Chains A and B, each alone.
Chain A
Amino acid sequence: MLILKKFLRDLPAVLGALIVLAAVILAIFPELLVDNVDRINRGNIIMRLKPPSADMPFGTDDLGRNIFERVIVGTRSALTISLFVVVVSMIVGVPLGLIAGYRSGWASSAIMRVTDVFLAVPQLILAIAIAQLLGRGQISAMIALAVTYWPFFTRTVYAETQKVRASLFVEALEGYGASKTRIMLFHILPNVAAPVIVRATVGMGFVILTAAVLGFLGVGAVPPAPDWGLQISEGRKYLPEQWWYATFPGLAILLLVLGFNLLGDGLRDLVDPRLRRS
């Protein structure tokens, strides 16, 4: 309870949590703001490229579709992609980091060398190449991002494990004859959980940004999916007259990523008071 009280005092973090919460609710129940979710891809040529109005706050696109509704429904695909990528990366990256950090030997150095290779080029560049090889589509983008994101978790867990490994209680456990697996799972993992959770929260925002770049460059979602990056790239053709088309999907990205970043910063302050932003 004390930790919750402390969290509630951190205004930006609470704001971030609210943004994320709102996005999750809208992703599950878009009906709250969208009249008919099945109809968002259906155009209406008479209503083509209308500026924002009270009825359609973000205006309409080149096919006469309601941009506001498409942005709202886009929350779902943005959150699905980032959740998938972060969870898969954690499932792969965390155990590898634990093993590499706790044990020493060829397996441990092999894991870290592979991690180094992945971290030697910017993630986006590898992800674009893999997504293109797998063929255009949201699934390819998700796989490509997961394949290139796990090393970040391995790195974090590795560094934290190495710190914990040297501590007295691990030595004591080893003295008692506890098995290596037991020490890793029940004693080291809980101690490295906090940085992993922070990394995952900030990572959600990071993946949303990267996925948007893939959509924008045309290696992610395919039309008529209401993907934010894709909408910006379509809307770009109608600048400067129809400014609303490319502007609002970008604001949606900004808001959601901001939410995850603020929440992640707040969590970091909670779990590691030394890094407090004073």
Chain B
Amino acid sequence: MLLFLIRRLLLIIPVLFGLLLLTFFMLRLGGNDPAAIMAGDNATPEMIARIREELGLNQPLVVQFWDYLVSVLRGDFGVSLFSQRPVSEDILDKLPATLELTLVALVIATVLGILLGTLAGVWRNSIFDHSVRIVSVAGLATASFWFAIMLQLVFAMGFEILPLRGRLPTGMAPPPDITGMYIFDSLVTGHFAITWQAILHIIMPAVTISLGGVATVARFTRSAVVASLQSEYANYEQAVGYPRHRVVFPYVLRNSLVTPVTQVGLLFGGFISNAVAVEAVFDWPGLGSYLVQAIFTSDYQVVLAVTLVIGAIYGVVNILVDMTQGLLDPRVAEKM
């Protein structure tokens, strides 16, 4: 298992290198001159030339790439043209907000998806099964940003039971910084009023992001449960006289969870994509809205860094998924 982990971690490196190469050349050849943007509208050609010199933009591209690579390996992503702060600091500020959002969405997708999928599989072809299928097919076809706006329309503007935007009400100070994830931090430090507000604020964005995930997980769980229920061991257990919930709960479910768990991992990429638009709708101060802002201001250091960070997170999550599969299914673990 440990060997497997090391091998997989090493395999991420060439992918990240390729990603860095791709985004670097894409952005530097893309035509937008960061020096001109930084200098502003009234800049003279001399000023732009000076800024180009300072940023090293006159060097050959290969040299620029090498310099960039060396500094990235040192953990230095350069300075954001827009916020004038080190990009790594900006990312560390924004990352917890996105992680908190995607983790809560992941929990919703897993719990709700497995619950709905199992029940639909057990009550196969009932009205419940059919409604789960309709809802999950529709869930996969919904534009997340539109669903976010509809939730705002109904629950924030209509019934006024959930807050419209942000992570906390304006004026409420965030909890002491431990992980940067408000729900966790406020629970640990005992600020339960903040926990409650943070939960209220995260419900709508997290539900929006998890929508496609709930649908996918429910679908895969259902078909796996249906298949397991028809297997010989399930028939045997029923013949021996196990009550239905005993057959389903430990035995069928454990055998059915391998595929959905793989799906949960694959969903992560979709979640980050959705987070880009959903964070914009809910003014959620995370990596997604940071990236969008950076793209619009041609802040190429930021775009490069965020893409790289997301690529790294993505790679690590895929390894975690494979390891979870190994824990659930000893047959998979043997091959590792």
Name the segment of B47-55, B74-82, B268-276 touching the other chain.
B268-276
Residue of B whose beta carbon sits closest to that of A258: B141
Bound Cα distance A258, B140 (Å): 8
Name the segment of A27-35, A86-94, A119-127 touching the other chain.
A119-127
Bound Cα distance A217, B144 (Å): 12
Contact B137 A133 (CB under 8 A): no
Residue of A whose beta carbon sits closest to that of B147: A250
Contact B16 A120 (CB under 8 A): yes
* Contact flag A254-B276 (CB < 8 Å), given A116-B15, A129-B303, A278-B223: no
A5 contacts B by Cβ under 8 Å: no
A84 contacts B by Cβ under 8 Å: no
**Interface residue tally on B, bucketed by range:** 35 or more
* Contact flag A120-B295 (CB < 8 Å), given A125-B272, A261-B137: no
For A240-275 the 0/1 string (1 means CB < 8 A from B) is: 100100110110011001100110010000000000
Contact A129 B295 (CB under 8 A): yes
Contact A120 B311 (CB under 8 A): yes
Contact A124 B18 (CB under 8 A): no
Bound Cα distance A123, B18 (Å): 15
* Contact flag A239-B19 (CB < 8 Å), given A216-B145, A254-B142: no
* Contact flag A232-B149 (CB < 8 Å), given A120-B311, A277-B223: yes
Bound Cα distance A176, B87 (Å): 61
For B298-336 the 0/1 string (1 means CB < 8 A from A) is: 100001000100110011000000000000000000000
Bound Cα distance A243, B291 (Å): 29
A212 contacts B by Cβ under 8 Å: yes
CB contacts under 8 Å to B, within A98-153, are 113-114, 116-118, 120-126, 128-130, 132-134
Which residue of B15, B153, B291, B292 contacts A120 across the interface (Cβ within 8 Å)? B15
A205 contacts B by Cβ under 8 Å: yes
Name the segment of B20-28, B60-68, B178-186, B239-247 touching the other chain.
B20-28
Contact A117 B22 (CB under 8 A): yes
Contact B19 A120 (CB under 8 A): yes
Which residue of B19, B140, B157, B273 contacts A240 across the interface (Cβ within 8 Å)? B157
- Which chain A positions have C-beta within 8 A of B23? 126, 129
A79 contacts B by Cβ under 8 Å: no
Which residue of B22, B150, B295, B311 contacts A247 across the interface (Cβ within 8 Å)? B150
Bound Cα distance A205, B139 (Å): 13
A213 contacts B by Cβ under 8 Å: yes
Bound Cα distance A116, B147 (Å): 31
User: Smallest Cβ distance from A168 to chain B, in angstroms?
Assistant: 26
Bound Cα distance A218, B273 (Å): 16
Contact B226 A278 (CB under 8 A): yes
Contact A122 B269 (CB under 8 A): yes
Contact A257 B15 (CB under 8 A): no
Bound Cα distance A246, B145 (Å): 11
Bound Cα distance A122, B291 (Å): 13
Contact A121 B314 (CB under 8 A): yes
CB contacts under 8 Å to A, within B124-161, are 124, 137-138, 140-147, 149-150, 152-153, 157-158
Bound Cα distance A255, B23 (Å): 35
A236 contacts B by Cβ under 8 Å: yes
Contact B143 A212 (CB under 8 A): yes
Contact A216 B277 (CB under 8 A): yes
Residue of A whose beta carbon sits closest to that of B124: A278
Residue of B whose beta carbon sits closest to that of A240: B157
Contact B27 A262 (CB under 8 A): no
A209 contacts B by Cβ under 8 Å: yes
A133-B30, A253-B143 given; 6 more Cβ-contact pairs under 8 Å:
A113-B14, A117-B22, A130-B26, A213-B273, A253-B141, A261-B141
25 residue pairs from A and B, CB less than 8 Å apart: A117-B21, A117-B22, A121-B269, A121-B314, A123-B273, A125-B272, A125-B273, A125-B307, A125-B310, A126-B23, A128-B291, A129-B27, A129-B307, A132-B295, A133-B31, A213-B145, A216-B277, A218-B296, A219-B295, A236-B281, A239-B149, A254-B141, A254-B146, A261-B140, A265-B137
A positions within 8 Å CB-CB of B: 12, 113-114, 116-118, 120-126, 128-130, 132-134, 205, 209, 212-213, 216-219, 229, 232, 236, 239-240, 243, 246-247, 249-250, 253-254, 257-258, 261-262, 265, 277-278
B positions within 8 Å CB-CB of A: 14-16, 18-19, 21-23, 26-27, 30-32, 124, 137-138, 140-147, 149-150, 152-153, 157-158, 223, 226, 269-270, 272-273, 276-277, 280-281, 291-292, 295-296, 298, 303, 307, 310-311, 314-315
